[in-house]
Amino acid sequence: MSDAGNEEEHRDFFGRSLLINLLRALHLVGVVGLGVAALGVRPVSEMAVFAGILAASGVFIAALDRWANSAYFFQLNGLAVLLKVLLLAAVGYVLFVWDGGEPAAPDPDTRDCPDCKSEIWIDARRCPYCTSVVPPLADAPEES
Protein backbone atom coordinates (compact mmCIF):
# COMPACT_ATOMS: atom_id res chain seq x y z
CA MET A 1 0.00 0.00 0.00
CA SER A 2 1.45 3.38 -0.96
CA ASP A 3 1.71 6.30 1.42
CA ALA A 4 -0.26 8.56 -0.93
CA GLY A 5 -3.18 6.14 -0.95
CA ASN A 6 -2.94 5.82 2.80
CA GLU A 7 -3.15 9.58 3.27
CA GLU A 8 -6.23 9.74 1.13
CA GLU A 9 -7.92 7.02 3.15
CA HIS A 10 -7.19 8.56 6.56
CA ARG A 11 -8.47 12.09 7.10
CA ASP A 12 -8.49 14.19 10.24
CA PHE A 13 -9.41 17.66 11.43
CA PHE A 14 -8.43 19.71 14.42
CA GLY A 15 -10.37 18.62 17.48
CA ARG A 16 -11.72 15.36 15.95
CA SER A 17 -10.34 13.30 18.84
CA LEU A 18 -11.85 15.70 21.37
CA LEU A 19 -15.19 15.64 19.56
CA ILE A 20 -15.20 11.83 19.49
CA ASN A 21 -14.36 11.70 23.20
CA LEU A 22 -17.21 14.10 23.98
CA LEU A 23 -19.55 11.95 21.88
CA ARG A 24 -18.32 8.84 23.71
CA ALA A 25 -19.14 10.57 27.01
CA LEU A 26 -22.63 11.34 25.66
CA HIS A 27 -22.88 7.73 24.49
CA LEU A 28 -22.08 6.55 28.04
CA VAL A 29 -24.74 8.91 29.42
CA GLY A 30 -27.19 7.21 27.08
CA VAL A 31 -26.06 3.71 28.12
CA VAL A 32 -26.28 4.49 31.84
CA GLY A 33 -29.60 6.32 31.45
CA LEU A 34 -31.09 3.42 29.50
CA GLY A 35 -29.82 0.95 32.08
CA VAL A 36 -31.27 2.95 34.96
CA ALA A 37 -34.61 3.25 33.16
CA ALA A 38 -34.54 -0.47 32.35
CA LEU A 39 -33.97 -1.29 36.02
CA GLY A 40 -37.09 0.68 36.88
CA VAL A 41 -35.31 3.29 38.99
CA ARG A 42 -36.45 6.04 36.63
CA PRO A 43 -39.68 6.23 34.61
CA VAL A 44 -39.76 4.19 31.43
CA SER A 45 -40.70 7.35 29.49
CA GLU A 46 -37.12 8.55 29.99
CA MET A 47 -35.88 5.53 28.06
CA ALA A 48 -36.75 7.21 24.76
CA VAL A 49 -34.63 10.26 25.66
CA PHE A 50 -31.60 8.15 26.59
CA ALA A 51 -32.12 5.84 23.61
CA GLY A 52 -32.09 8.94 21.40
CA ILE A 53 -28.88 10.23 23.01
CA LEU A 54 -27.34 6.75 22.67
CA ALA A 55 -28.32 6.34 19.02
CA ALA A 56 -27.44 9.88 17.94
CA SER A 57 -24.02 9.89 19.58
CA GLY A 58 -23.30 6.36 18.28
CA VAL A 59 -24.24 7.29 14.72
CA PHE A 60 -22.15 10.47 14.98
CA ILE A 61 -19.11 8.56 16.27
CA ALA A 62 -19.42 5.93 13.53
CA ALA A 63 -19.88 8.64 10.90
CA LEU A 64 -16.76 10.46 12.11
CA ASP A 65 -14.78 7.21 12.11
CA ARG A 66 -16.06 6.42 8.63
CA TRP A 67 -15.22 9.93 7.41
CA ALA A 68 -11.68 9.66 8.81
CA ASN A 69 -11.15 6.15 7.45
CA SER A 70 -12.98 5.22 4.27
CA ALA A 71 -12.37 1.51 4.87
CA TYR A 72 -13.77 1.71 8.44
CA PHE A 73 -16.81 -0.50 7.88
CA PHE A 74 -14.63 -3.13 6.19
CA GLN A 75 -12.26 -3.33 9.17
CA LEU A 76 -12.72 -5.14 12.46
CA ASN A 77 -13.66 -1.98 14.42
CA GLY A 78 -16.29 -0.93 11.93
CA LEU A 79 -17.67 -4.46 11.56
CA ALA A 80 -17.90 -4.71 15.35
CA VAL A 81 -19.90 -1.44 15.37
CA LEU A 82 -22.26 -2.80 12.70
CA LEU A 83 -22.66 -6.03 14.67
CA LYS A 84 -23.40 -4.04 17.82
CA VAL A 85 -26.05 -1.99 16.01
CA LEU A 86 -27.66 -5.19 14.69
CA LEU A 87 -27.68 -6.77 18.16
CA LEU A 88 -29.13 -3.60 19.74
CA ALA A 89 -31.80 -3.44 17.03
CA ALA A 90 -32.69 -7.08 17.73
CA VAL A 91 -32.87 -6.47 21.49
CA GLY A 92 -34.94 -3.32 20.96
CA TYR A 93 -37.29 -5.21 18.65
CA VAL A 94 -37.76 -8.03 21.15
CA LEU A 95 -38.25 -5.62 24.09
CA PHE A 96 -40.47 -2.98 22.51
CA VAL A 97 -41.99 -4.21 19.25
CA TRP A 98 -42.42 -7.97 19.39
CA ASP A 99 -45.36 -8.91 21.60
CA GLY A 100 -43.99 -12.37 22.34
CA GLY A 101 -46.35 -14.05 19.96
CA GLU A 102 -50.09 -14.38 20.32
CA PRO A 103 -51.12 -15.72 23.72
CA ALA A 104 -52.93 -19.00 23.35
CA ALA A 105 -56.57 -18.21 22.72
CA PRO A 106 -58.85 -19.81 25.32
CA ASP A 107 -60.39 -22.99 24.01
CA PRO A 108 -64.08 -22.25 23.27
CA ASP A 109 -64.93 -25.87 24.10
CA THR A 110 -63.62 -25.74 27.68
CA ARG A 111 -64.04 -23.73 30.87
CA ASP A 112 -62.58 -23.79 34.38
CA CYS A 113 -64.14 -25.88 37.11
CA PRO A 114 -65.50 -23.42 39.73
CA ASP A 115 -64.19 -25.64 42.54
CA CYS A 116 -60.72 -26.85 41.53
CA LYS A 117 -60.06 -24.49 38.56
CA SER A 118 -59.14 -27.43 36.34
CA GLU A 119 -59.95 -27.14 32.64
CA ILE A 120 -63.12 -29.08 31.93
CA TRP A 121 -65.45 -29.47 28.95
CA ILE A 122 -67.85 -26.57 28.61
CA ASP A 123 -70.92 -28.84 28.78
CA ALA A 124 -69.60 -31.01 31.63
CA ARG A 125 -72.01 -31.59 34.51
CA ARG A 126 -69.43 -33.06 36.85
CA CYS A 127 -65.75 -32.18 37.10
CA PRO A 128 -63.59 -35.21 36.18
CA TYR A 129 -60.82 -34.00 38.50
CA CYS A 130 -62.58 -33.10 41.75
CA THR A 131 -65.92 -34.85 40.94
CA SER A 132 -67.91 -31.81 42.11
CA VAL A 133 -71.19 -31.12 40.35
CA VAL A 134 -70.74 -28.22 37.92
CA PRO A 135 -73.69 -25.95 37.12
CA PRO A 136 -74.39 -25.61 33.40
CA LEU A 137 -73.17 -22.38 31.82
CA ALA A 138 -75.94 -19.89 31.12
CA ASP A 139 -74.13 -18.45 28.13
CA ALA A 140 -72.93 -21.78 26.77
CA PRO A 141 -73.03 -21.88 22.99
CA GLU A 142 -76.23 -23.50 21.84
CA GLU A 143 -76.25 -26.51 19.60
CA SER A 144 -77.35 -25.56 16.11
121 makes contact with Zn ion (CB under 5 A): no
> Smallest gap, in angstroms, from Cβ of residue 109 to Zn ion?
17
For Zn ion, which is the closer residue by CB, 42 or 111? 111
129 makes contact with Zn ion (CB under 5 A): yes
Answer yes or no: are the C-beta atoms of 9 and 70 closer than 8 Å.
yes
13 makes contact with Zn ion (CB under 5 A): no
127 makes contact with Zn ion (CB under 5 A): yes
Non-local (6+) Cβ contacts of 109 within 8 A are 121, 122
Answer yes or no: are the C-beta atoms of 25 and 58 closer than 8 Å.
no
Cα 44 from Cα 29, distance rounded (Å): 16
Identify which range of 1-9, 24-32, 74-82, 125-133 contacts Zn ion by CB under 5 A. Answer: 125-133
122 makes contact with Zn ion (CB under 5 A): no
In the complex, the residues that contact Zn ion under the rule CB under 5 A are 113, 115-116, 118, 127, 129-130
